Structure 1
Amino acid sequence: MIRKILIANRGEIAVRIIRACKELGIISAAVYSEADKGALHTILADESYLIGPAESSKSYLSKESIIKLAKEINADAIHPGYGFLAENSEFIKLVEDSGIKFIGPSSRSVKMMGSKTAARKLMEKHNVPIVKGTTEPIKSVSEGLNYAGEIGYPVLLKASAGGGGKGMRKVFSETEFEAAFESTRRESLKAFGSEEIYIEKLIENPKHIEVQIIADEYGNYRHLFERECSIQRRHQKIIEESPSSFLDTATRKSITEAAINAAKACEYYNAGTVEFLMDTDKNFYFLEMNTRLQVEHPVTELVTGIDLVREQILIASGEKISFTQDEVKQTGSAIECRIYAEDSSQGFLPSTGKLKFYKEPGGPNVRVDAGVMEGSEISIYYDPMISKLICWGKTREDAVNRTLRALDEYFIGGVSNNISFLKFILESEIFKKGNHNINSVEQKLLKEFEIEVTGNQGNEFEKAAAILAAHIKNSKKEKVLSAHSNLNKWRDLLYE
């Protein structure tokens, strides 16, 4: 029985886990770095402990410090959230050996899925479709050229230990291969400590479809349908939704069955996500398995009504999955937007500083997962996410409209944000029609957004002047702000 959980993470995911603990009557213990002293997750938790300096390597990534603290405070379990140590098989093995329960999969399963080449080989063995390519690392340029010739250009070079879009190069011809091979190996070594890379056929302009799965330690497996994550910038997801408007009933059945087979192949338990690429003919191919909770898990929760974090904790407590597969239904449509502290009108430059003003949207079927509050610091040390906005609607159109309305209700002062860009995407024809793919943002939407920003710059200055004039006249900040809720860029002027 789990009585106390140490949460080895920060920000909105730490807050999310704390809330689940409180609803289950479990003591939540937060950790924080010197940069996170007084952060929201430290306030909401039942207990909070300093884990180290601001640098992640000396705090949230310190395996020994986290396990030592868990023992000292008599924690029964550790929840890693996502990022940091969540998919570190070495850390998970240390937790397992310490006698503390790890809320997630086994170190063995994580290790099996950690190598992209080993995972591809395993999927091929268990009849999960994979992109044509190698299942062993490429040893030399000449070997790679031979494989590329067999597969046919264009091809993709990828780091075996990669993730997050790092360690990848597209190669369109034989003359490009050697330079791409060497640069991919260098990036792989720098980012992941391994030079191993492999090669696969490049699927041009695919959809990114992932399936949420969950399993208990008694061999019971469930899928919670799919999420569409094709809206990406630099291989990082920006907007996610469920269900995907691209899938038909037969394809949905096939891809969810493949995801269950992938989980069974590595004897997986707890929550995980199997990611696929899908071409224009709805053929899908295994991409990777994320052996943890996903940032975008709330969209699944809103369309299925299942609390994934609660299930994670109960499964780690030794219980069976609390629902049958037939009980899992997709109802309505949900969309998640990631609100980042970055200036989308200036090439998405990171924006750091104190949140001088912060007000979240509300209303029916609007959910905000945040790890900040007014006065919080957006630090240079961590991911610049401010919050996640997740909205549900009876139809996809309803969900889009609700999301646009909710984005307009944000009031953020002190740092720049990407809300104007998120709105631009949601209002675009390509998104409304569901015709977007993983390259749509960088090949089309970014260029159109830049044109609009440039063309409207003069109008924005005029609007800003009008806001300031109204402020001077009325001396009522709230009245002025509410009249111009979409001008995020200029709100800071009222707080200087």
Structure 2
Amino acid sequence: MSNEHYLHNPLIHRDRRLGRRHTEWVNQFDCTHMRPLIICRGPIRKEAMDVFSEMGITDFGILLSEKDSIIYQDALAPELRSLTDPNRVHRVPDYTGANKEERDQRIAQIINIARENGYNSIFAGYGFMAEDETMVAAMEKAGLNFIGPCSRTVHDAGLKDEAKRTALKHGVSVTPGIDNGTALTLLKKHPDAAALKALAAEHGLIVDEAKLDDDSIELADKADLVLAASYEKGVDIYTVDELCETLTEAVQEMAAEYPENRVRLKAISGGGGKGQRILGIGESARTPELVREILNEVKTTGVGDNKNVLVELNIETTRHQEIQVLGNGEWSMTMGGRDCSLQMHEQKLLEVSVTVESLEAAIEQAKASGNATEQRVLEQDLKTLIAMEDEATRFGEAVGLDSVSTFECIVDRDKHFFMEMNTRIQVEHRVTELCYTLKFTNPENPDDTFIVESLVELMVLLAAHGPKLPKPERILRHNDSVEARLNATNQALQPSAGGVIEYWSDAVEGEIRDDQGISLHNPDTDVFMKYTLAGAYDSNIALLLTVGDTRLDTYERMAEVIRQTNMRGKDLATNLEFHYGLVNWFIGQNINARPTTRFIVPYLTAVGELKQRANNLDVDYAWKQICKAQLAGAAGDSAKALKTALELKQTLLLRPLKTLLEEPHILAGWLSVNRDSYTMVDGKISWNENPIELLDDTYHFLNMDYVEGEPASSMIWDHDDDILGDALAFYQELNNRLDAQDWIELQSVLDSADAPEGISASMWGEIRGAHAGFQAGVDILAVLPNIAEATSYYSLCVNEDLTINIPERLEDTELQEAMAKVLVPPPVAKSDEILAESGGMFYGRETPEHDVYVKQGDHFEAGDPLFIVEVMKMFNKVYAPFSGTIEEVLVDTDGVIISKGQPIFKITPDEVIVVESAEEVAARRRGVTDEFLAQLV
């Protein structure tokens, strides 16, 4: 799993293996009697398997969905490489089912599997059903120990409408909005208690009539009682159309009250980014469409499903922070926070710890450096963290939290609002457990203790012995930690399924990797085993984590981990390069920056602009022009020597350049950490540091250092390494002799023909000649700052108050869409075709109840929806890029798998599409390159 592997197991079992004896108090918390069935997938399944084994729990089994392997051949769960006993692997069609009926069938199937195979407990991880109250209650009713919050907590805290009401009762800040759309819908038709009683009688609903007659109970709460009874019986007493009408009215009212804010719609049973949509300003008419999308996405379209959708004000400058909270049903406590603002489409990408200790250290550092503004912001963050932890503790006690959950908030400068509680362990839980451990102490003997390092382990302990566990003490482990989610996505962060990982380098020192077991080598040959990335579920491949004494230390370690990571495969697309660029952006800007949830798309757009500029530069042409210009001023032996030097250095200089121009995310990272390497002087690029040393740093940044025995394609070539080594040694010796303060001073000394004191005239001539040879051709490196200047890349920056300045152009949706296509060009289509831009599952309509978007003979306008592609839980609606007419529908069956580039429709466009010729492309690139050449000093 990792070279720096943090043990999950408690001291009980770790010490038992070493033959140590324990006290009676410690031994009572033994968990070896637990026989869990793991009903989730992904990295958490492998982690649970490891933790259970380390705890001495050996009789565990797993569910294995057939959905992945049916859709993508050879998509075998990598966990089976270590769990080889077929009696502990139980196959199901999929994990959750497509609707309420299928979910109920799956729950019954899981219970039967547990009974027939002797499992006494259930672990659901952070799978979608982990927060399903019906499932948890069914497990409890079947006598199974659910390793997670009980059904009462899931109901009171997990359902977003119930949670909001509980929060209000206990002084927890909440966002403006309505949480009872279904109740309001019901009351439109049944406006009083008598009407509600009549409705209950009509449908045979079991409702406490005394509560319906109780004048102290609000009418909306009475409607909720009737609704709860209808869900229990599995009947509908309102229609989706009626609900949409109510929610549209609520959106219109909120838009009128807050005209500068968008509105967020959230399914009460959503989570992990699922079941949420944001309505733009003036888009209230789209409410019904988005509500149906939400209900379809969270699979609550069936008869008797709770279809409540919350309407909330969308706080536009939000940072997404969450507090890790835990309890045993009596006491509740927190373990610090996590900042999860770096996300896209509600899917988190990079998560970083937020701890009291880290903030206090950062405050002291800002104070010592005299940065009063940064100090003030950090001090407010500390106050906010303390307040959120306090509210999370009170909320946990209010809902009787008896396991591990997450208290999620949005933060807007000095204000914070409770969003929801996720009644399950989070994907990013290890960010927290790497910062704190928990120390449990015998109330009657302070020397009698044990330590818990893993939240999965804690969940097992709470499920097995919750009421007996005393409230633990949290102990600092590391000040900071960060997690990067390695996902199967393309350069524009769109899900990309079906690729094959054929090689993945081993974890390096300081890397903590959770990867489902993909990294496990063949035990006989020690060879990496191929793995197919299926698309039936989420896009996550692995979780990469690092720790440190400061946030900067942690990010630098993450950058180093990613730098050394090598992953290759067939049709493989991941966000590894994106993470390298993003982490280095923060290192180069300010590691304490406060990004909001709206940062990633503008950032991606800026990266797209870099790529667009890079595409328009002809490096080979630029190199020829630079060589020509330098040779023009030389003659005789000097010209011959210069020509030889340029020829020898061509690959040394161009190989890393071309790599950077080809990889926009890596280029973005390089520009971020090297923004001080040059200065623009009168429109010319002037280096602030020796280009040779910058070139050496660039080879290292690209992980192209010379390593004996490695493939030449992935590192500096040996003869180039010799030239670079000689140049570095030359300048090191020169710096020692001349004692120059910096590169600018050294250049001024070398520009003079007069030899410095202590160096002969002849020696000085040789030195200046060698300098000219080593610097020959390095002007080509200026193509990199040229790209930054041409795109105004550095205008996306961190302000003094740690907010991020996002230039207005990067917020433009048309530019965002255009740059996404620059990062991932769509498949080349004929003028009479519409092609699939990605592989996935095809749907030609909004829901099974809707008509198809388009059929043969239909005319469509640019921007009209044409079809939907589901890739790794993401439903991507495809819109027409231009107007035209459907001549033939080539894919007409919902639920079939399509591939990238596959024709979907034959069409006749309204206008002839003009394609730029190769000659026109070459002329454009030459023109842009000439602009760059004019910037050279």
Q: TM-score range by the shorter chain?
A: 0.7 to 0.9
**More off after superposition, 29-38 vs 407-416:** 29-38
**More off after superposition, 456-465 vs 233-242:** 456-465
1:253 alignment counterpart: 386
1:122 alignment counterpart: 166
2:134 alignment counterpart: 90
Q: Say if 1:240 and 1:431 are closer, same or farther in 2 by CA, change over 3 A.
A: farther
> 1:308 and 2:443 equivalent?
no
Match of 1:11 among 5, 22, 42: 42
CA distance, structure 1, for counterparts of residue 157 and residue 40 of structure 2 = 22
1:102 alignment counterpart: 146
Q: Say if 1:3 and 1:434 are closer, same or farther in 2 by CA, change over 3 A.
A: same
Match of 1:437 among 589, 596, 599: 596
1:406 alignment counterpart: 561
2:423 partner amino acid: T
1:289 alignment counterpart: 421
| Secondary structure of residue in 1 paired with 2:54 | helix
Shift in Å at residue 100 of structure 1?
1.1
Shift in Å at residue 325 of structure 1?
5.5
| Secondary structure of residue in 1 paired with 2:545 | strand
Shift in Å at residue 263 of structure 1?
1.4
CA distance, structure 1, for counterparts of residue 552 and residue 708 of structure 2 = 39
Match of 1:221 among 332, 355, 373: 332
> 1:172 and 2:329 equivalent?
no
How many residues were matched structurally? 471
| Secondary structure of residue in 2 paired with 1:3 | coil
CA distance, structure 2, for counterparts of residue 127 and residue 196 of structure 1 = 24
Shift in Å at residue 84 of structure 1?
3.2
CA distance, structure 1, for counterparts of residue 594 and residue 260 of structure 2 = 25
Match of 1:368 among 513, 525, 550: 513
1:44 partner amino acid: S
1:135 alignment counterpart: 179
| Secondary structure of residue in 2 paired with 1:13 | helix
Can you give the 5+ residue segments of structure 1 that lack an aligned partner in the other structure? 468-473, 490-496
Query: What are the equivalent positions in structure 2 for 1:382-421 lying under 5 Å apart?
Result: 382-414=537-569, 415-421=572-578
> 1:451 and 2:609 equivalent?
yes
CA distance, structure 2, for counterparts of residue 53 and residue 88 of structure 1 = 19
CA distance, structure 2, for counterparts of residue 321 and residue 341 of structure 1 = 43
2:166 partner amino acid: L
CA distance, structure 2, for counterparts of residue 275 and residue 53 of structure 1 = 33
2:261 partner amino acid: P
CA distance, structure 2, for counterparts of residue 56 and residue 375 of structure 1 = 27
Deviations 1:357-406 (A, max 9, x none): 12243203x21001123312211212221111000011111100000000
CA distance, structure 1, for counterparts of residue 258 and residue 612 of structure 2 = 43
1:226 partner amino acid: G
Shift in Å at residue 111 of structure 1?
2.1
Shift in Å at residue 482 of structure 1?
5.9
1:203 partner amino acid: I
Contact 2:328/2:402 (8 A) holds in 1: yes
Deviations 1:381-434 (A, max 9, x none): 122211110000111111000000001122211112111111111122466242
Deviations 1:217-261 (A, max 9, x none): 4x1212001001000011110000102665643222211011112
1:8 partner amino acid: I
CA distance, structure 1, for counterparts of residue 583 and residue 568 of structure 2 = 23
Query: What are the equivalent positions in structure 2 for 1:5-404 lying under 5 Å apart?
Result: 5-27=36-58, 28-34=60-66, 35=68, 38-45=76-83, 47=85, 48-53=88-93, 57=97, 62-137=106-181, 139=185, 140=246, 141-150=248-257, 153-161=260-268, 162-163=270-271, 164-173=273-282, 176-177=283-284, 179-192=285-298, 193=300, 195-217=307-329, 219-243=330-354, 248-281=381-414, 283-305=415-437, 306-319=453-466, 324=471, 326-329=473-476, 331-344=478-491, 346=492, 348-364=494-510, 366-371=511-516, 372-373=518-519, 374-404=529-559
CA distance, structure 1, for counterparts of residue 558 and residue 328 of structure 2 = 34
Shift in Å at residue 454 of structure 1?
3.4
Shift in Å at residue 115 of structure 1?
3.0
CA distance, structure 2, for counterparts of residue 333 and residue 55 of structure 1 = 35
TM norm structure 2 = 0.47
CA distance, structure 1, for counterparts of residue 468 and residue 580 of structure 2 = 38
2:310 partner amino acid: Y
Deviations 1:456-485 (A, max 9, x none): 4577894499x9xxxxxx99665644669x
Q: Say if 1:152 and 1:317 are closer, same or farther in 2 by CA, change over 3 A.
A: same
| Secondary structure of residue in 2 paired with 1:331 | coil
Contact 1:214/1:222 (8 A) holds in 2: yes
| Secondary structure of residue in 2 paired with 1:327 | strand
Contact 1:335/1:400 (8 A) holds in 2: yes
CA distance, structure 2, for counterparts of residue 452 and residue 460 of structure 1 = 16
Q: Say if 1:31 and 1:206 are closer, same or farther in 2 by CA, change over 3 A.
A: same
Deviations 1:193-223 (A, max 9, x none): 2553333322111111100011114x12120
Deviations 1:267-291 (A, max 9, x none): 111010010000022x110011111
Identity %: 23
Over alpha carbons, which structure has the higher Rg?
2
Q: Say if 1:297 and 1:167 are closer, same or farther in 2 by CA, change over 3 A.
A: closer
CA distance, structure 2, for counterparts of residue 481 and residue 322 of structure 1 = 54
CA distance, structure 1, for counterparts of residue 657 and residue 551 of structure 2 = 35
Deviations 1:262-313 (A, max 9, x none): 21222111010010000022x1100111110100011111111331111111
Contact 2:157/2:421 (8 A) holds in 1: yes
CA distance, structure 1, for counterparts of residue 80 and residue 390 of structure 2 = 40
Contact 2:63/2:92 (8 A) holds in 1: no
Q: Say if 1:153 and 1:456 are closer, same or farther in 2 by CA, change over 3 A.
A: closer
**More off after superposition, 421-430 vs 164-173:** 164-173
| Secondary structure of residue in 2 paired with 1:167 | strand
**More off after superposition, 85-94 vs 196-205:** 196-205
Contact 1:153/1:171 (8 A) holds in 2: no
Q: Say if 1:421 and 1:377 are closer, same or farther in 2 by CA, change over 3 A.
A: same
Contact 1:341/1:352 (8 A) holds in 2: no
2:168 partner amino acid: E
| Secondary structure of residue in 2 paired with 1:405 | helix
**More off after superposition, 1-10 vs 297-306:** 1-10
Shift in Å at residue 90 of structure 1?
1.0
